Structure 1
Amino acid sequence: MNTLDPTHPLAAGRTASSRLVRAYQGERQAVTPVWFMRQAGRSLPEYRELRVGTRMLDACLDPALASEITLQPVRRHGVDAGIFFSDIVIPLRLAGVDVDIVPGKGPVLGSPVRTAEDVDRLTAVDPASLDAEVFAPIAEAVRITIAELGDTPLIGFAGAPFTLAAYLVEGGPSKDHIRARTLMHADPAAWAKLMAWTADITGAFLRAQVLAGASAAQLFDSWAGSLSLQDYTEHVAPASTRALSHVRDLTYDVPAADGAEDAQTRNVPIVHFGVGTGELLKAMHEVGADVVGVDYRIPLDEASRRLGHVVPIQGNIDPAVLDAPWEVLEAHVVDVLERGVDAPSHVLNLGHGVPPETDPAVLTRLVEFVHSR
Structure 2
Amino acid sequence: MLQNDIILKTLRGEPTDRTPVWMMRQAGRYLPEYMVLREKYGFFERCQTPELACEITLQPVDIVGVDAAILFSDILVVPQAMGLEVQLIESKGPVLPDPIKNGNDLSRIRVPDVEETLGYVFDAIKLIKKELNNRVPLIGFAGAPWTLLCYMVQGKGSKTFDEAKAFCYTQPELAHRVLQMITDTTVAYLTAQVKAGADIVQVFDSWGGLLGPEDFENLSLRYIRQIVAVLKDKVPTIIFAKGAWHSLDSMAATGAQGLGIDWCIRPEMARQLAGNQVTLQGNFDPAKLLSPIPVIQKEVKAMLQAFGPGRHIANLGHGILPTVPVAHAQAFVDTVKNYRHPL
Instruction: Give the Cα separation in 2 of the matches to 1:108 and 1:87.
Output: 13
Matched, 1:269 2:236: yes
Instruction: Give the Cα separation in 2 of the matches to 1:121 and 1:105.
Output: 29
- Which range moves more in the overlay, 236-245 or 146-155? 236-245
CA shift in 2, pair 1:245/1:75, >3 Å: same
Counterpart selection for 1:234 from 218, 225, 229: 218
Correspondences of 1:137-286 after superposition (within 5 Å): 137-151=120-134, 152-250=136-234, 268-286=235-253
Shift of 1:164: 0.2
Equivalent residues of 2:149, 2:179 under 8 A apart: yes
TM-score (norm 1): 0.87
Matched, 1:107 2:73: no
Which has a greater percent of helix?
A: 2
Question: For each residue in 1:329-348, what CA deviation from the matched residue of structure 2 results, as whole angstroms up to 9, or x when unmatched?
Answer: 11211111011127x51100
Shift of 1:136: 2.0
Shift of 1:28: 3.5
Instruction: Give the Cα separation in 1 of the matches to 2:243 and 2:311.
Output: 22
Shift of 1:64: 0.3
Matched, 1:298 2:298: no
**2:32 corresponds to which letter in structure 1?**
P
TM-score (norm 2): 0.94
Instruction: Give the Cα separation in 2 of the matches to 1:133 and 1:187.
Output: 31
- Could you say what the CA RMSD is over the residues aligned between the two structures, in angstroms? 1.6
Shift of 1:249: 4.6
1:350 corresponds in structure 2 to: 316
- Which range moves more in the overlay, 182-191 or 311-320? 182-191
CA shift in 2, pair 1:45/1:225, >3 Å: same
Instruction: Give the Cα separation in 2 of the matches to 1:96 and 1:228.
Output: 30
Equivalent residues of 1:196, 1:242 under 8 A apart: no
Shift of 1:121: 1.8
Equivalent residues of 2:296, 2:331 under 8 A apart: no
Shift of 1:246: 4.3
Instruction: Give the Cα separation in 2 of the matches to 1:249 and 1:371.
Output: 29
1:370 corresponds in structure 2 to: 336
**1:107 corresponds to which letter in structure 2?**
P
Equivalent residues of 1:20, 1:80 under 8 A apart: yes
1:335 corresponds in structure 2 to: 302
Counterpart selection for 1:320 from 277, 287, 304: 287
Shift of 1:65: 0.2
Give the match's secondary structure for 2:54. Answer: helix
2:40 corresponds in structure 1 to: 53
Equivalent residues of 1:109, 1:167 under 8 A apart: yes
Instruction: Give the Cα separation in 2 of the matches to 1:245 and 1:56.
Output: 32
1:121 corresponds in structure 2 to: 107
1:14 corresponds in structure 2 to: 2
2:118 corresponds in structure 1 to: 135
Structure 2 unaligned regions, length at least 5: none
Give the match's secondary structure for 1:133. Answer: helix
**1:48 corresponds to which letter in structure 2?**
M
Question: For each residue in 1:97-129, what CA deviation from the matched residue of structure 2 results, as whole angstroms up to 9, or x when unmatched?
Answer: 1111122222111211122222x2244x2x2x3
Equivalent residues of 1:42, 1:48 under 8 A apart: yes
Instruction: Give the Cα separation in 2 of the matches to 1:183 and 1:93.
Output: 20
Shift of 1:96: 2.5
Shift of 1:288: 4.2
